[in-house]
Each structure stands twice: as C-alpha cells, then as structure tokens.
Structure 1
C-alpha cells in the first residue's frame, strides 16, 4: 500500500477511535446523570413521606383536642344534670386527654414558631376553661348567665384555635406536596432527556459499528470476486481485510465491555427505586384506610402509576441495551475464534440441531424433515452448527398464523461446493428486504417476535469465514428458502 493511502487509513482509524471514545464518555455521563437523579428522587420521596406522616400526627393530636373538649362538655352536663348512667368518659378522663393532646401537639410542632404560639394560647384557654367547668360542677353552685357565656366563649376560642392549627397544617402539607410534585417533574424531565440521549448514544454507537462492519463485509465481497490470476492483489486485500476485521472486533469488544459496567449500575439503581416505591405505596394505602380523602388523586397517580411507569421504561431500555451488548460481544468472540476444519456428517448435524430445538418444535406443532441424502463436507463444526441452528430456529419462529408449520432441511454437492437449504412455509420475506435481513440489527416484516436483528447477520459472517455465501428466495406469505453455499473442503481463511 502506498504511503498516502496508509496515512489516510491511520487518520480514519484515529477518527473512528475518537468517535467511539466520545460516545462511551457521553454514555457514562448520561448513565451517571440518570443514576444521580434516581438517588436524589429516592431521598426526596423519603423526606416527603416523613413530612406527610408528621402532618398526619399533628392533625390527629389537634382532632383529639376537639374531641376531648366535647367529652368534657358532655361529662360536665352529666354531672350537673345528675345523670347516673353515662357510657362516655368521666370529666377527669376527658380533661386528661385534652391536656395530653395539647402537649403532644406542642412536641410535634417544636420546629414551627407560629404553631407553638397557638399551642400556648390553647393551653392557657383550656386551663381557664377546665377551672370554670370544675367550679360549675360543685354541688349547689348556681351558674350565672355571665359564667355560662364565659364558658361558651372560652370553648369556642379553643375550637377556633384548633381549627386554625388544622388549616395551617393542611397549608403546609399542600406546600410540601407542591414541592414534591416539582421534584417529580424535574426528575421525569431529567430521566426522559437522559433516556433519549442514552438511546441516541447507543444508536450512534451501533451506527458507527454498523458502518464499519458494512465496509468490512463489502471489502470481503469485493475480494471474493477478484480474478484468481490477481494473486498479489488478493493477498494484499486479504491482509488489509484481516487487519480491519481485527480492529472492528477489538473496538466492538471494548465498546461492549466498557458499557456493561454503567449499565449494571443503572439496573441496580432501578431495582432500588422499585423497592423504594413500595413503602410509599403502603403509606398511601394506610392513609386511605385511616383518613379517606387525605391523599388526592394526583398524589395517588404519581405513586401508583407515574413512578412505576418511569421505572419500567428505564428497565426496558437497559434490558434492551444489555441484549445488544451481549450480541456485540458474541459476534466479537466468534470473530476471534480460530476455524478448525474437520470432516462433518451433515445429516447427523441436522438431526442434532433438530433435537436441540425439539421442545420448541413440539410446542408449536411444527413438522421438521431432512433430505434422505445430505452430503458430507470438511468445515468448522461449531460454525456450521450455529448456521443451521439459526436458520431452523428462524423458520420455527416466523410461522404463518393459521397454517401448520413445516420445515425442510436439504443439501447437495455441486462442482466442489455444498449447497445447504432450509425451507419453510411461514410468513415469507418481501423481496425488497432480501438483503436487509442479513444486515446487522436490521429486521423485516411484522416485529412480533423477540430478537435484535443479530441471527442472520451472524450467519452471513460465519458463511463468509467458511469461504461461502448465503442467500434467500422468498415471497410474502409463501415461505422462505435460505441457501448456504460452502466449499466442500475448507482450505483456510486466507483462501476463503
């Protein structure tokens, strides 16, 4: 290769390395941002839960004040009217409950100066009212109209102060709920933006690798079609191709390996966020049981729907990215494995593949048959098993609904080569997508089956490494026939 061409190649490789490194750094940053947002939301949610519980406790104590006041009135009337049988609390019990509730409220509102002032006012009014109630219960003690009016006014003031404290707590609860809603909104915005950017980074990484892989496969095809007399040109292209193949495999391995660590962190934080939601949901349930109407519909929707939906989105995205990383790693490892040719019984290999998929085949009621005469060949056992397994598994997977599935495996030897056919009567492939289905991460037709568009791309890469090709003949709703063309005797990757 000439020096200018070498320089240009090195520059292209450096640009590719910088692009991949930049995408990895950006992916790390986005994962960290999403993780920190999730942790912050967890702490914020716990704080909101504590405040809601605190407000409920204060409201409970204030309501106890009002209830104890009514019990004191009832007990006093019972004593004054000399009612012998009274199933309610005695005056002393009601009075004790009142002052205990006041002290409980004072303890809970130590951090609120305004509420503390109201508590002191209620304590003073209640002490005066208790003294007047007790005086009015003394035998032969006649109460003047002025005394009755004074007691009524004092009781009204205590009730008014209690109502004022309840309104103040509800106002604080509304303010805290609004702050929580703002936090949730910010969290969702950050999470959504991070998720979109993360998908863009993943898409960019895949696009870069696909483009590089596409160039590599195009070079292989061009090399295969060169004239046999151009031995020097073929040798030179083969060397360049091997170097490029090694580089893309190394890059694929580095990208996949380095992305796995932050991805595991995101999946772990997602699980923690799911666990953190459960106590909050339990608190909402208890609030609904003990105080119906306390939790509004927006709060309930945020806890039961919005948070689980966001967590589900994160989990779905990370699981998809994990599958893509695994697929890239699998392709990288396969590309580095040395080819080991040996004589293979194609018929026995086909039966082994069918047996391995027997559970799925029987489950779907698919009829799988093989040709009576399948030729032997010299090739790599593992690679050929993967080719057959992928093709048969695809045939079983993409059945035509309402049509009993049938798969046929055949083969023949022609002019020093072996043609292996896998034919099915499934849903078929549109002729416009015949090349598309062999591209990495590309699929065709209705996407109702699990998969990432890896299988056929892997099959084609394996066929190329074995010195062969793969093609498809198909029409929509008419089934498909995949034809693998391999040398009858593998002569080594340099010859391939």
Structure 2
C-alpha cells in the first residue's frame, strides 16, 4: 500500500484520488443530510396527523357524551309521564315527589346540552323547540296533577283525555331527531378520524422506507463505529425483554381483574336472589289472600251494601289483583335476568377444553335439538357441506351455534317460511362459521348494540331478555375469535362467527 501511495505521489495521482474520496464523502453526507431532513419532515407530518387523529377522537367522544345526555333526557321525559300516571292512579305523594325531582333534573340537563352543542345550529334549533314543548308539557302535567288533587274521581278522565300525550310524542320526536343528528355527526367524525389514521400510516410507511435508505448511507459512513451499534442493539434487546415482562404482568393483572369482575357478578346475583325469593313468596301469599278478600266484599255487598265503599270494592276486586300480577311479572323477569347473569358468570369461570370438532356433525346435532320447533314453524335449516374442522371447546361452540340458529328460527319474516343455512370455511388459520336466514332482518344501526347485554332490536314480539348474542360474543372472545352481523331490514341476516383453527383462549 505504501508502495502504491509512493507511486501515486510520484506520478501525480494523489490529488485526483483525494478529490474522488472527498466527492464520495460529500455525496454520502449530502444524502444523509437530505435523508435526515426528510425524516424530520416526516416525523413532523406524522406528529401533525397524530394531533389531528386525537382531535377527531376528542370530537367523537364529545358526540358520544351528547348522545348520552340526550338519552338521559329521553328517560326523564318518560319518567315524568310515568310519575304523572302513577299519581293519577294512586295519589301517592312519592310519585308526585318523583315528578317534581325529575322536572328539576331536566333543566340543568338541557343547559348542558345547549353548552355542548353550541357549535351546532341544528341542535340549537332542536333545543329551542324542545324547551318550548317542555314548558307546555310541564304546564299540562302540572294542571292534571292539580285537577286530580281537587277531584280524585276525575283521575281516569284526566288520564284518558289529557293533551299531554301528544306533547310527549312531540318531545320524543325532537329527541329522536337530536339523536339522529348526533349519529350523522358521529359517522362524519369517525370517517375523518379513519382518514387521518390512514394518512398517518402512509406517512409512517414513507418515513420507514426513508429510514431504511438513510440507514444504508449511515452504514457507509459509520461502519467504523459498529461497537456503539452493538451496544445499542443490546440495549434494545434489554428494553424488549423488559417490555415483554411488562406485557406479561399487565396480562396477569387483566386476568385477575376479569376474575374479580366475574366473582363480583356471581356474588351480587346470588345475594339478589334471596330478597327476590322473599318478594316472590310474599306475592304468592298476597295473591292467595285476594280471593277471600274478594269473597268478603261480595258478601258485604250482598248483605249490607250500605257498608261497602265502591272505591274499596274496586280496589279489592281489580286494583289489588292487577298490582299483584304486575309485581309477579316483574319479579319473574328479574329472576330470569339474575339467572342469566349467574349463567354468564359460571361460563366465564368454566375451564375450556379444546378438542377437534367436526363442524358438520355439530351442526346436525344443533338442528336435531331444534327440530320440534322447526316443524311447528315450518322452517327448514340446511347444513352446507363440506365443512372444515376446528380445535376449540365443544360446549362453547355448540352453545354459540345453537344460539345463532335459534335466533334465526325465532324471528322469521311474517308470512314467509323460515329458511336458514349453516356454512363454514377455513382461511389463513381461521374458521368462519356463518348462519344466514331470510327473516325480518336487523337495522344496520343496531348491528353493534345487539351484542350488548340485555339489548334487543326491532319489534319485541318474541320472548327473551337480550342475553343470547351477548353470551355468543363473550364465548367467541374467550376462544380468541369474534362475531359480526351483516343485515338490513326485510332482507334477512347473516351472522359470521370467526374462530382460530387452533385454540387461543382469552381469559
């Protein structure tokens, strides 16, 4: 090398060689500088889009808050009407106090809504109309309460001919319009948020590609400093190990929290059952006591009618049995809800046992268990083959599939024989089980809420408490899967249950 350098100096090559090295170095440094400038610009752009996404998220949360306030306002409207009706029927001071308390709660809620929707002239107009109707509503209801106090015998006539029912319907329509406006804004804001996130991903992808190019040039310049790179790599590995430890710790914490929630639900439901049993028992005793009481009233009416008060007779013959029937219906519903909570809690604690399942055989078994119901309704269930197998908990998959098929049978389109198809397909390590029907369909706005506990959609003409689909989603999550719905009103519905082909349990 020394000899070559000596020859180069002797022949006058030194200056060209130095100039060439400097040109290459300048080129590399210039490319690195441009790369870092572009990276800084990309980082700034990414930061700006992150702030935009956060801003959109804030507006989305704002919209949800407005919707919650509107829903609360709708509840207050119904509570006013219920309290008024209760007072007209019973003349109890408690119902009147409920009416006055609800009126007081309504005023600050409307003020909050006006403040939250100050930037929306449509909602401001809706609130103006609501307040005008609310004043009229309050005046009509108050007038009926005062008249009922002065003339209790006119309570039924007040209840039948009162004009407040029309105002109540107008208030419902206004709040429904407000919810529709917020849903429209929510869709726009979610779309804007998604657009900002998508652009952010593109910027990050560009920044990543630029980082790779800059790293290549950096290696050319900084190859003598590999020692520091190795040290940095070791530090990154250490941070990765720490991150894995933190993730495992958080996972354990979440599992413990989930167990505590399930335990709490079980304890609460179990403790609620004892007083409920007492209420149901005493209701039975009251119901049994109404018969001799009615017989006594009949006897008094026959032997000494001057001693019988007509209101007391009506209470013994009609009001008391009606009230007891209402209590019995309510306690039975509460008993069903408690049983559902207990069942969900037990399912959450049950240990899953993965095994290979032939979905075709399982679907046949589910159809056979519902055959009597199918024959009654004239419905037909078709199991489309071939079907893949899946490794999962058999009982959980059977419960989910049975719930979906039973729902499809339960809600047919009026006048149209039910046709249900069960199919399954595997792709990329997952198995999708679909249950499609030609029933009445589901409003697209309800596609998410139908999976919430105790929530139902459409006409409530079938027995149920809104638990089945919530149970299906909970089981799907535990198996590492999810469930989705595709439907429109009058066009049937397709529920797709997506599960991993191999077991992946979730708490």
Q: What's the TM-score bracket when you normalise by the shorter of the two chains? A: 0.5 to 0.7
Matched residue, 1:281: 294
The verdict on how the C-alpha distance between 1:193 and 1:400 changes in structure 2, with shifts beyond 3 A counting, is farther
The verdict on how the C-alpha distance between 1:429 and 1:185 changes in structure 2, with shifts beyond 3 A counting, is closer
The verdict on how the C-alpha distance between 1:421 and 1:461 changes in structure 2, with shifts beyond 3 A counting, is same
Match of 2:278 among 256, 265, 290: 265
Match of 2:326 among 313, 321, 339: 313
Matched residue, 1:252: 265
Q: How far apart are residue 236 of structure 1 and its match?
A: 3.6
Match of 1:428 among 423, 435, 441: 441
The alignment partner of 1:472 has SS state of strand
Matched residue, 1:86: none
Deviations 1:377-402, CA, capped at 9 Å, x for gaps: 11001100110011011111111111
Match of 1:356 among 363, 369, 372: 369
The alignment partner of 2:491 has SS state of coil
Larger Rg: 1
Q: How far apart are residue 290 of structure 1 and its match?
A: 3.7
Matched residue, 1:76: none
Contact 2:477–2:506 (CA<8 Å) still a contact in 1?
Answer: no
2-structure distance, mates of 1:340, 1:351: 21
Structure-to-structure mapping, 1:88-99, within 5 angstroms: none
The alignment partner of 1:368 has SS state of strand
2-structure distance, mates of 1:468, 1:235: 21
Is 1:345 matched with 2:396? no
Matched residue, 2:345: 332
Taking structure 2 as the reference length, the TM-score comes to 0.52
Match of 1:378 among 391, 394, 398: 391
The verdict on how the C-alpha distance between 1:268 and 1:460 changes in structure 2, with shifts beyond 3 A counting, is same
The alignment partner of 1:378 has SS state of strand
Deviations 1:196-231, CA, capped at 9 Å, x for gaps: xxxxxxxxxxxxxxxxxxxxxxxxxxxxxxxxx975
Deviations 1:275-320, CA, capped at 9 Å, x for gaps: 1111111112223344556534322211111111111121122111
More helix by share: 2
Is 1:405 matched with 2:418? yes
Contact 2:439–2:490 (CA<8 Å) still a contact in 1?
Answer: yes
Matched residue, 1:390: 403
Greater relative CO (CA pairs within 8 A, separation 6+): 1
1-structure distance, mates of 2:96, 2:479: 45
The verdict on how the C-alpha distance between 1:242 and 1:354 changes in structure 2, with shifts beyond 3 A counting, is same
CA RMSD, aligned part only?
2.5
2-structure distance, mates of 1:361, 1:191: 47
Match of 1:467 among 480, 484, 489: 480
Q: How far apart are residue 238 of structure 1 and its match?
A: 2.4
The alignment partner of 1:452 has SS state of coil
Taking structure 1 as the reference length, the TM-score comes to 0.53
Q: How far apart are residue 192 of structure 1 and its match?
A: 11
The verdict on how the C-alpha distance between 1:479 and 1:463 changes in structure 2, with shifts beyond 3 A counting, is same
Structure-to-structure mapping, 1:127-146, within 5 angstroms: none
Matched residue, 1:243: 256
Is 1:367 matched with 2:380? yes
Is 1:448 matched with 2:461? yes
Deviations 1:225-251, CA, capped at 9 Å, x for gaps: xxxx97556434422221121011011
2-structure distance, mates of 1:449, 1:307: 28
